[in-house]
Structure formats: structure tokens, C-alpha cells
Amino acid sequence: MIIPVIIYIIFLIIYLIFASFAIFSARRFGFVGDATKYVTIIFILFGLTLIIISGVYILGANWNQDLDLTIFS
């Protein structure tokens, strides 16, 4: 049951595309010495932390289980 991981990766790629657009825009339009640089660094660090943690979680979790659909009934 690896489908959730594939969906996660697809959304992660979409996220990375938008994030790189935003960072590119910040670098291009931010002034020298203004807060853009620091906020961008915080944004990148936050994103990287979550991506690394989720990667470790994906590698460690057991994905060979079936989805129990009876819980909604």
C-alpha cells in the first residue's frame, strides 16, 4: 500500500515548485540588507525540517497494511 506515499510525493513536488518560485521572487525583489533574507532562511529551514522528518517517518513506517474502510460504517 504505497499509494499514500506517491500522493504525498506528488503534493511535495507541487509544494517545492511554489516554494522555489517564492524564494526566487524574494531574492530578485528583496532589497539589500532587508528582512527578506532572514524570513526566507526561516521559511527554508522550517520546510527542510518538516520534509526531513516526514522522509524519516516514511522510511520507518509500515506501509504493508490494508486500509480498513469499515471504520466509517
Partner 1 sequence: MRIGIRIWISLFLVKMRELKKQFPGQQADEKTVLLARVHWFKFAGNLLFAFVLVLMWFVAWALIDQYLPTLLQGMWGNIWILFSFLYFLFVALFLYIGWLNYYLDVWILTNDRLIDIDQKGLFNRSVSQLSLGQVQNIKAEIKGFLPVLLRFGNVDVETAGAEVGRFSFRNIPKPFEVEEKVLILVEDFFKRKKREQDQITKKENYAS
d(CA 46, CA 11) in angstroms, rounded, equals 17
By CB under 8 A, residue 26 contacts partner 1: yes
Does 35 bind partner 1 (CB under 8 A)? Our answer is yes
Instruction: Enter the C-alpha cell of residue 29.
Output: 525583489
Grid coordinates representing 67 are 486500509
C-alpha cell at 28: 530578485
| One of 31, 41, 59, 73 touching partner 1 (CB under 8 A) | 31
* 8: contact with partner 1 by CB under 8 A: yes
Rounded Cα distance, 19 and 44, in Å: 9
Can you give the binding site for partner 1, defined by CB under 8 A? 1, 4-5, 8, 11-12, 15, 18-19, 21-22, 25-26, 29-36, 39-40, 43, 46-47, 50-51, 53-54, 57-58, 61-63, 65-68, 71
